[in-house]
Structure 1
Amino acid sequence: MKTAVEKAADTDYRELSVSPHLITEAKSALMHFERLCGRYQQMYNTQVQANKLFVVKAKNARMYISHFVQVLYMSIQRTEIKEEHLSLYGLEECNMIVPDISTNEQLLEWGRKIIEGENIRISRGAVPIYNPSIAKVKVMYTLFKEGYQTQKLHQKATTRVQDEVAAYREKVDKLILDIWEEVEKDNMDLATDQRLDRNRQYGVIYYYRKGERV
């Protein structure tokens, strides 16, 4: 379509193989489509850059929560903390194993449970766990949670524009087909080589399979 629009701009309207009305419509559609594609690329790039920072935040939160749970288990083994307190963290059925926090959703859930559990235990007069402290864990978890929510917004915005591009592509494809048909019809009486060359100037290019006759 872009080739046809550029060709029309350099051709006298009386020599055009495409109707002026169709060229005008194609030019408008092309400008809109290119803007949409530009917006999508910009949003996608923003999402990719933000994800690089988010990956670091997720790694830190995962490390701190895992470490905290391990220290909690060791404190129980040393009888510094009662085993029954595991229920405060939702860890009573984990068999003294760090829960699966490999996905972001699991990390969100377990991070919340661990922080709430430690706060409840401390509020009852118990000695806080240190190295890492729950305050430090919470900082890393909060950074992760904020980054997670931001990434969701980026993904939603990118997907929305991607859907707009896909929807508008239907109109673009229809215009390309209309241009193709008008160009072929206008040049159908020309000799083969001349017809192919003329069509090619408007972006109408044929590809033949091996052994297929022109």
Structure 2
Amino acid sequence: MPYRRLPNTDQARLRALKAALQKGMQLSPFDLAYSQKLFLELQSFLPQYEQAISQYNFSKERQAKYGKLLGDQFKVTRLYVSHFIQVLNFCIIRGEIKPEARKLYGFDIDEKSVPELGTEQQLLQIGKQVVEGEEKRGMMGGSRIYNPSIAMVKIKYEKFVEYFNNHKNLLVTTQKMHEKVTDLRAAADRIVLNIWNDIEAHFDKLEGEEKRLKCANYGVVYLLRKHEKEPQ
């Protein structure tokens, strides 16, 4: 015996709501298999729900796009920051820059290794220290470091910060959109359930298969259980 299957995805909910709305637009209130009150509620609710889903999907797509851009820029920026620190250490080893200069970058005087740059937060912090430290050293009359220059490091770092902030904002926006859709899902489920209950009650005097066909014409979904399905 087929059983009624309520929608459990946003797309399935939209299909159910649109099918019911289409019938409401085609038939007079006297011929409609569900109440006029539900029809008016459906007319008001469906555009809100559809718009919320569209905004959520759009936000997710933008978040994914900026996530990729952020990942790519993270790798490039980490390379530039790491190479700059290595060149700085080589300059100190060759005696071109005094070890005390490391303090300007927030490093210990005797620290000869490149600090950890494995996370976005680490790169944000160390990148900022490197850019600001080199600018301070330049203002004190220190000789410039090349290959990479601080100008190139700064360009890569600022682009990384831009992508990081954009992605962070999109995460917040996507979460808000998700919460809005989640709230509307509860309303969608209630409306679908009430409409489908009305429809089945309206055709209750009909026999099983005929009743299901009439209800399915309104978008009500019936499925066979696994053990009832015929082998292909």
Q: How well do the aligned residues superpose, as a CA RMSD in angstroms?
A: 2.4
| Alignment partner of 2:112 out of 96, 113, 127 | 96
Residue 208 (structure 2) aligns with: 192
Q: Take 1:93 and 1:28, find their aligned partners in 2: how far apart are those partners?
A: 68
Q: Give the aligned residue type for 2:43.
A: K
- The alpha-carbon distance between structure 1 residues 93 and 105, as it changes in their structure 2 partners (threshold 3 A), is farther
1:111 maps to which residue?
127
CA shift, 1:93, in A, is 8.4
Mapped pair 1:168 → 2:206: no
Q: Residue type of the partner of 2:154?
A: K
Count of residue pairs brought into register by the alignment = 213
Q: Deviations over 1:149-187 (max 9, x none)?
A: 222222222222222111111111111111121122222
Residue in 2 that maps onto 1:82: 98
TM-score normalised per structure 2: 0.81
> Do residues 134 (structure 1) and 146 (structure 2) align?
no
Return 5+ residue gaps in structure 2 as ranges.
Answer: 1-16
More moved, 151-160 vs 68-77: 151-160
| Residue identity (%) | 34
Moved more, 109-118 or 202-211: 202-211
Deviations 1:15-66 (A, max 9, x none): 2221111012112211111111122223333333444444443333222111
Indicate the larger mover: 35-44 or 171-180: 35-44
Structure 1 CA distance for aligned equivalents of residues 49 and 144 of structure 2: 58
Sort the Cα spacing of 1:182 and 1:100 in 2 relative to 1 into closer, same or farther, 3 A: same
Structure-2 change in CA distance of 1:168 and 1:94 (3 Å): farther
Deviation at 1:190, TM superposition (A): 1.2
Q: Hey, what does 1:21 align to over in structure 2?
A: 37
Deviates more, 1:203-212 or 1:146-155: 203-212
What's the counterpart of residue 74 of structure 2? Answer: 58
Structure 1 regions of 5+ residues with no counterpart? none
Q: What TM-score, normalized by structure 1, do the two folds share? A: 0.87
More relative contact order in 1 or in 2 (CA 8 Å, sep 6+)? Answer: 2
* Letter of the 2:63 counterpart: Q
Q: Aligned residue for 1:9?
A: 25
